């Protein structure tokens, strides 16, 4: 509760008073820094493209985060920090947001970066190509204007309490107007040579092999970046990736690059450090999604029984090798407004069986398909475990083997019984949580909507009330209430808050500094000689 | 009788027969040897072999008994091997027989059709078929059959082309027997031995293909097979070698045994070509 | 020879068009809408976005029209546009093709050379301990899953012994040029090429041995032997040539199969070839790329078979030109 209050207070200050963004904390003393050198990383899987305005998947963001930038970034407690915006002001009524831009910023091709680029992104490029920005823009944004070259003003139709939390790279990437305006963004020939404002420039991409970025000599932060080169290597096999780190071919492993057990071995090596920080903004939460259209899952007691039948500590510790924490509700523990005091469903097979017996439903008459996530052996083990537990409860379970394409297809067309899924919560519930429960978000073609078909008018109303609140305390009250309802309804089986471990050699300094972790421009990163 | 004696003198073939016999016995006895579901967690995860006498081959990352998996997996691996071969032989013999017996236009058309399938690398085709029709035991078996029949078709066609010219077939044609009848009663029985030899080798290849598909994550998630076990264990190769070693050994032994038997049959049926492969 | 060549080319074109149509229809049969998958990955469910994607990819037109468009595109050298990468398929494939040709070519040469060598040795010293060892090893490698050998050899030669690089095609960022680079690539090539080739080494060893034994039993060899020609000379002058030729032909017919194996090898060794491109495209339902890889593979296979045929005819003029 205390943590929430502190966060609320900070958020309230930021939202109500004109505040200049705080300076970047703890720059290493210049004397120690040894500039130069190449940093080797792995990008897994190989991204389809680097145009972050058109594709915001993890691998794309990881590489493109060094090329493109956004207006803001966030610290580990999700307070906004300056990036291309030097400072910002929010009017008292929450209807006007004014951003002042950094001076002397240039695109990689030498063109100046101005407020016109931001307006182009906000009103043209992203409205067309970015799924999340479009929804926000349509619902809340009245106009975006550029009174001068270094100022951008967003006028709102109505207040949106999460607005300031949607300006990092994955939510609001700024694309060069002089290259894209008036073209077909997807087929623009310039897509093969990305042009951004970031600390590193695109040099070469040998598909299937590596992506090579080099230092941007004209970067807008003087004397930075420290590194000369970045290599993002493509190594499709997980075991090979862990060998690559062990042998020193790469110096950094991003969360998900290697399997859980390898994390244990690798972090035990001498000269290796690790951190789970740098994912606070994304706060990925894994959940098991029952299709509520099925009669058996429509029964709330059956859902509760299933929840009780899963030993989520075993899942985290034995299957995911400690990479996570059992979830305590619909909001990840690192998402804003998380309520730690919700109703809990601990592992209790007897209670689970009792709930089933009371429901009077014969589970064996409702055979179900379990669709796991196609992301490697750990997820396969989870599917095998869940199948075992549910069969003990009385279900007849078939695991549906799907590849990534098949998974998206099935979940997006509601063709599933019980599915594994995980979603980024993007710091703020209005960005990344409510989309799972809004009854008007039961839409096909996405894995990130209300695919289970949960409909509760009270929940809809509370989420809207919280999002539209001017005052953060009103938002907090509504969010607490909605979490309580959801915890009682169990429309999803929130399984665990995923943790991602970044592993790196200790000679790599300043690697993870913000809530977006490795997607942050590495302009402060240096390698000790 | 004499055949049997000659076969028993081929030590390789006898060895193959013994190994295969043991594997089949293991598959059949699996429910008795390892009662219950091989997917169950029965012990501590990652027990080494011999560490606990109850689990001679160790356990995997979820504490499942490797030995139980191998015994239960034998059934699935052999089944996929045999069924896919039967289907492939059925398609291959039908197409090869029609092409070889009727020749001319029919032959041209059918062989061109066969070429379409041959030109694409078999494994690549199998991967695509399984992925597209979502991996389960039926799609895997059929995919392996679809990529293996062209070999049979070509073989049968060649046999039929030469057998068709023989007197007894010509005689049957002259006395007005129907085409299908001649194929079934006169030609096919005389072409059966090379088909059997090829088929035995195909069973072995099918088991290997299934394991390779599983390795790429295209196995049936509900069936414990050897390929699945290796696929599941491969990322932990360095931490737990036994998880992939024993199923790998099982595949090796089964495929070896079937090959040895196939060669034994081959030697038996073509005594003048001892040692020749095809 | 010219008319033979022309005839073969004509036949090849028919086969390749057949392959295209077959694959195209297969993919149309497949459940899964690429546009829905792409939209899903982008996190967008809205129907307008889906419609735009479908229109952009031409998926909104009837299947025969799509097939016709694709075929006429192929005939003018346009293999379409990758859904995901937003890059022409042809350039994607051409970028990756050399790596696969190098890998499969090396594996082919390796397996043929070692296979023939071991086969000849086994046949020459038939019944000896050497023969038993070679035959047994051939049987074992014939029965061992390729990916298993790949993983084990990485463990042994890269991790324990540290002799060979475990993955990649060259040292990235080393900036080698000329001979230095060629050596570097060769060094990286050893493990993948050998593991990919071992299965075929086993096949060719057995084939060569059998073929040698068969020829050694033929009348002209017996005659030569009766005439007192030294054994070594018989083997070299008479047996080898007649025995090895069918192995060569069989091997070139099988060359295309190496591409299938390359999917596994390229995955384990991070080799940037078309085997992996195909697998990735399949997983992402990037059908134009998948079709393109199949088409290019088919063309390569047809060319290899054609060359093999031609060589065979030149070496062995007894075969008439059909």
Counting residues of chain C whose pLDDT is more than 90, the rounded percentage is 19
pLDDT at C42: 61
**Span A264-321, pLDDT tens digits:** 889 999 999 999 999 999 999 999 999 999 999 999 999 999 999 999 999 998 889 8
CA distance A127 to A134: 4
**Span A328-366, pLDDT tens digits:** 999 999 899 999 999 999 999 999 999 999 999 999 999
How many other C-beta atoms lie within 10 A of the C-beta of residue B275?
Answer: 20
Minimal Cβ distance to A240: which of C84, C270, C280: C270
Give the position of tokens 């703890």. A26
In angstroms, the Cα distances linking A181 to A85, A146, C181 are: 22, 16, 42
Closest CA to A172 of A207, A235, A123, A225: A123
- Report the Cα C90 to chain-centroid distance in Å: 19
> Which stretches in chain B have pLDDT values below 70?
1-2, 270-278
Asked if B39 and A388 come within 8 Å (Cβ–Cβ), the reply is yes
pLDDT at A19: 38
Q: How would you classify the pairing of strands A72-74 and A96-101?
A: unpaired
**pLDDT level of residue C59 (50, 70, 90 thresholds):** confident
SS3 A214: strand
pLDDT at C316: 64
> Both tokens of residue B116?
């379409």
DSSP state of A89: E
**Span C151-171, pLDDT tens digits:** 788 888 888 888 988 888 888
pLDDT at A112: 96
pLDDT at A32: 80
CA distance A137 to A29: 42
Instruction: Residue count of chain B, please give it.
Output: 278
Q: Name chain C's partners: 3 or more CB pairs within 8 A.
A: A, B
**Residue A225: is the preceding peptide bond cis (ω within 30°)?**
yes
Residue C184 or residue A375, greater confidence? C184
Residue A446 has pLDDT above 90, yes or no: no
Counting residues of chain A whose pLDDT is more than 90, the rounded percentage is 69
The pTM of the full predicted model, rounded to 2 decimals, is: 0.81
**pLDDT level of residue A396 (50, 70, 90 thresholds):** very high
Residue A156 has pLDDT above 50, yes or no: yes
Put simply, whether C243 touches B (Cβ < 8 Å) is no
pLDDT at C43: 55
> Both tokens of residue B159?
């046999």
Put simply, whether C258 touches B (Cβ < 8 Å) is yes
Interface contacts (A, B; CB < 8 Å): 58
| Those residues with Cβ within 8 angstroms of residue B269's Cβ, 6 or more apart along the chain or in another chain | B193, B194, B196, B197
Phi-psi region of B27 (alpha: psi -120 to 50; beta: other; left: phi over 0): alpha
CB B212, CB C145: distance < 8 Å: yes
SS3 A204: strand
Minimal Cβ distance to C143: which of B230, B256, B276: B256
Chain A residues with CB-CB distance to B234 below 8 A: 239, 377
Helix (H), strand (E), coil (C) string for A251-318: CEECCCCCCHHHHHHHHCCCCEEEECCCCCCCCCEEEEEECCCCHHHHCHHHHHHHHHHCCHHHHHHH
Chain B residues with CB-CB distance to C196 below 8 A: none
**Span A75-85, pLDDT tens digits:** 998 999 999 99
> Both tokens of residue C187?
């060094």
Q: How would you classify the pairing of strands A418-423 and A368-371?
A: parallel
Minimal Cβ distance to B119: which of C207, C258, C298: C298
Query: Which has the minimum average pLDDT: A43-52, A136-145, A194-203, B40-49?
Result: B40-49
CB A459, CB A482: distance < 8 Å: yes
Please give the angle made by the CA atoms of A241, A244 and A245, to the nearest 5 degrees.
95
pLDDT at A437: 95
Asked if B120 and C298 come within 8 Å (Cβ–Cβ), the reply is yes
Residue A376 has pLDDT above 90, yes or no: no
Chain A residues with CB-CB distance to C49 below 8 A: 131, 445
Put simply, whether B106 touches A (Cβ < 8 Å) is no
Q: What is the C-alpha R_g of chain A?
A: 23
Asked if A234 and C270 come within 8 Å (Cβ–Cβ), the reply is yes
CB burial readout B231-266, b (16+ within 10 A) else e = bbbbbbbbbbbbbbbbbbebbbbbbbbbbbbbbbbb
CB C115, CB C205: distance < 8 Å: yes
Most confident of A228-237, A452-461, B156-165, C69-78: A452-461
DSSP state of A71: S
Mind telling me how many Å the CA of A401 is from chain B's nearest CA?
6
Chain C residues with CB-CB distance to B121 below 8 A: 256-261, 297, 301
Closest CA to B261 of B1, B20, B25: B20
How many other C-beta atoms lie within 10 A of the C-beta of residue C293?
Answer: 28
pLDDT at B270: 65
Put simply, whether C314 touches B (Cβ < 8 Å) is no
Interface contacts (B, C; CB < 8 Å): 130
Give the position of tokens 């073969």. C8
Burial class (CB in 10 A: 0-12, 13-18, 19+), C101: middle
Chain C residues with CB-CB distance to A54 below 8 A: 86
How close are the terminal C-alpha atoms of chain B, in Å? 25
Closest CA to C275 of C288, C258, C255, C252: C258
**pLDDT level of residue A173 (50, 70, 90 thresholds):** very high
Please give the angle made by the CA atoms of B114, B119 and B120, to the nearest 5 degrees.
110
Asked if C36 and A444 come within 8 Å (Cβ–Cβ), the reply is yes
Q: Alpha helices of chain B — where are they, by DSSP H?
A: 2-9, 11-33, 66-102, 104-119, 122-132, 137-164, 167-174, 179-182, 188-215, 226-233, 241-269
**Span A10-51, pLDDT tens digits:** 444 344 333 333 344 444 455 588 999 999 999 988 888 899
């Amino acid at each position: 509760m205390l943590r929430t209050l502190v966060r609320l207070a900070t958020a309230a200050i930021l939202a109500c008073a004109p505040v200049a963004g705080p300076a970047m904390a703890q720059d290493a003393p210049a004397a120690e820094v040894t500039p130069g050198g190449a940093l080797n990383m792995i990008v897994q899987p190989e991204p389809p493209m680097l145009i972050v305005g058109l594709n915001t998947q993890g691998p794309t963001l990881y590489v493109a985060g060094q090329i493109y930038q956004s207006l803001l970034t966030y610290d580990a407690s999700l307070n906004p920090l300056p990036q291309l915006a030097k400072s910002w002001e929010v009017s008292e009524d929450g209807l006007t947001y004014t951003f002042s831009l950094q001076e002397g910023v240039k695109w990689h091709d030498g063109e100046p970066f101005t407020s016109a680029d931001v307006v182009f992104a906000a009103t043209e490029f992203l409205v067309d190509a970015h799924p999340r920005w479009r929804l926000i823009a349509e619902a809340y944004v009245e106009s975006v204007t550029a009174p001068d070259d270094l100022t951008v003003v967003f006028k709102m139709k109505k207040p949106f309490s999460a607005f300031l939390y949607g300006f990092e790279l994955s939510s609001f990437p700024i694309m060069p107007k002089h290259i894209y305006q008036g073209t077909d963004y997807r087929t623009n020939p310039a897509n093969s040579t990305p042009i951004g404002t970031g600390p590193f420039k695109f040099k070469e991409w040998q598909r299937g092999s590596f992506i090579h970025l080099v230092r941007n000599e004209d970067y807008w932060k003087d004397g930075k970046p420290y590194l000369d080169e970045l290599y993002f290597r493509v190594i499709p096999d997980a075991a090979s990736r862990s060998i690559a780190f062990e042998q020193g071919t790469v110096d950094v492993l991003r969360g998900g690059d290697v399997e859980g057990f390898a994390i244990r071995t690798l972090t035990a090596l001498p000269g290796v450090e690790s951190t789970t920080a740098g994912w606070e903004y994304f706060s990925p939460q894994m959940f098991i999604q029952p299709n509520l259209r099925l009669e058996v899952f429509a029964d709330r007691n059956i859902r509760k029984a299933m929840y009780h039948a899963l030993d989520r500590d075993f899942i985290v510790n034995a299957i995911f090798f400690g990479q996570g924490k059992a979830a305590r509700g619909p909001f990840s523990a690192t998402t804003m407004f998380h309520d730690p005091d919700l109703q809990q469903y601990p592992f209790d097979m007897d209670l689970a069986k009792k709930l089933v017996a009371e429901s009077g439903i014969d589970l064996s008459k409702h055979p179900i398909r379990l669709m796991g996530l196609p992301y490697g052996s750990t997820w396969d083990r989870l599917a095998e475990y869940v199948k075992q537990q549910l069969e003990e409860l009385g279900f007849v379970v078939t695991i549906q083997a799907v590849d990534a394409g098949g998974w998206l297809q099935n979940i997006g067309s509601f063709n599933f019984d019980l599915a594994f899924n995980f979603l980024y919560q993007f710091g703020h519930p209005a960005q990344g949580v409510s989309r799972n429960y809004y009854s008007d978000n039961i839409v096909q073609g996405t894995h990130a909507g209300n695919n289970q078909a949960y409909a509760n008018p009270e929940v809809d109303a509370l989420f809207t009330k919280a999002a539209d609140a001017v005052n953060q305390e009103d938002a907090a009250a509504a969010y607490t209430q909605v979490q309580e309802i959801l915890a009682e309804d169990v429309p999803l089986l929130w399984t665990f808050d995923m943790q991602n471990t970044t592993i790196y050699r200790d000679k790599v300094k300043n690697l993870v500094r913000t809530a977006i972790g490795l997607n942050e421009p590495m302009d402060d990163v240096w390698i000790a000689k | 009788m004499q055949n049997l004696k000659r076969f028993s003198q081929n030590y390789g073939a006898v060895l193959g027969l013994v190994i295969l016999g043991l594997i089949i016995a293991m598959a059949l006895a699996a429910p008795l040897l390892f009662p219950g579901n091989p997917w169950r967690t029965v012990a501590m995860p990652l027990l080494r072999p011999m560490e606990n006498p109850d689990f001679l081959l160790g356990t995997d990352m979820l504490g499942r008994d490797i030995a139980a998996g191998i015994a239960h997996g034998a059934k699935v691996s052999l089944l996929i091997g045999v069924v896919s071969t039967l289907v492939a032989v059925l398609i291959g013999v039908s197409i090869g027989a029609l092409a070889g017996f009727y020749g001319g236009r029919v032959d041209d058309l059918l062989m061109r059709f066969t070429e379409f399938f041959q030109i694409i690398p078999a494994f690549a085709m199998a991967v695509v078929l399984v992925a597209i029709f979502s991996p389960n035991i039926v799609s895997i078996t059929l995919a392996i059959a679809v990529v293996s029949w062209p070999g049979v078709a070509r073989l049968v066609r060649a046999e039929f082309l030469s057998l068709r010219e023989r007197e007894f077939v010509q005689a049957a044609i002259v006395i007005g027997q129907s085409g299908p009848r001649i194929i079934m009663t006169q030609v096919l029985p005389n072409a059966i031995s090379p088909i059997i030899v090829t088929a035995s080798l195909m069973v072995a290849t099918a088991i290997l293909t299934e394991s390779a598909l599983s390795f790429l994550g295209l196995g049936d998630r509900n069936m414990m097979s050897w390929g699945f076990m290796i696929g599941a264990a491969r990322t932990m190769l360095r931490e737990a070698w036994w998880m992939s070693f024993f199923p790998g050994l099982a595949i090796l032994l089964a495929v070896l045994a079937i090959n040895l038997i196939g060669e034994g049959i081959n030697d038996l049926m073509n005594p003048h070509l001892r040692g020749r492969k095809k | 020879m010219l008319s033979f060549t022309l005839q073969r080319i004509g036949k090849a074109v028919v086969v390749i068009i057949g392959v295209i149509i077959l694959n195209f229809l297969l993919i149309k049969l497949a459940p899964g809408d690429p546009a829905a998958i792409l939209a899903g990955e982008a996190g967008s469910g809205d129907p307008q976005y889906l419609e735009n994607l479908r229109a952009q990819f031409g998926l909104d037109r009837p299947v025969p029209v799509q097939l016709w468009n694709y075929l006429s595109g192929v005939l003018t050298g346009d293999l379409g546009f990758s859904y995901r990468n937003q890059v022409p398929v042809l350039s994607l494939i051409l970028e990756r093709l050399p790596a696969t040709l190098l890998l499969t070519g090396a594996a082919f040469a390796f397996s043929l050379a070692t296979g023939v060598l071991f086969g000849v040795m086994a046949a020459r010293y038939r019944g000896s301990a050497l023969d038993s060892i070679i035959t047994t090893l051939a049987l074992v490698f014939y029965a061992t899953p390729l990916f298993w050998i790949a993983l084990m050899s990485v463990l042994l030669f890269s991790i324990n012994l540290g002799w060979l690089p475990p993955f990649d095609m060259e040292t990235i960022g080393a900036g080698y040029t000329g001979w230095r680079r060629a050596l570097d690539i060769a060094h990286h090539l050893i493990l993948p090429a050998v593991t990919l080739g071992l299965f075929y080494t086993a096949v060719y060893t057995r084939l060569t041995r059998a073929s040698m034994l068969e020829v050694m039993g033929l009348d002209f060899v017996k005659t030569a032997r009766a005439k007192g020609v030294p054994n070594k000379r018989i083997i070299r002058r008479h047996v080898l040539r007649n025995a090895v030729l069918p192995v060569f032909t069989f091997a070139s017919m099988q060359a295309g199969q190496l591409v299938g194996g390359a999917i596994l090898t390229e995955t384990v060794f991070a080799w940037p070839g078309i085997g992996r491109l195909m697998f990735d495209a399949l997983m992402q339902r990037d059908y134009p790329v998948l079709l393109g890889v199949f088409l290019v593979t088919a063309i390569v296979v047809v060319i290899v078979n054609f060359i093999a045929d031609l060589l065979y005819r030149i070496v062995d003029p007894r075969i008439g030109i059909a």
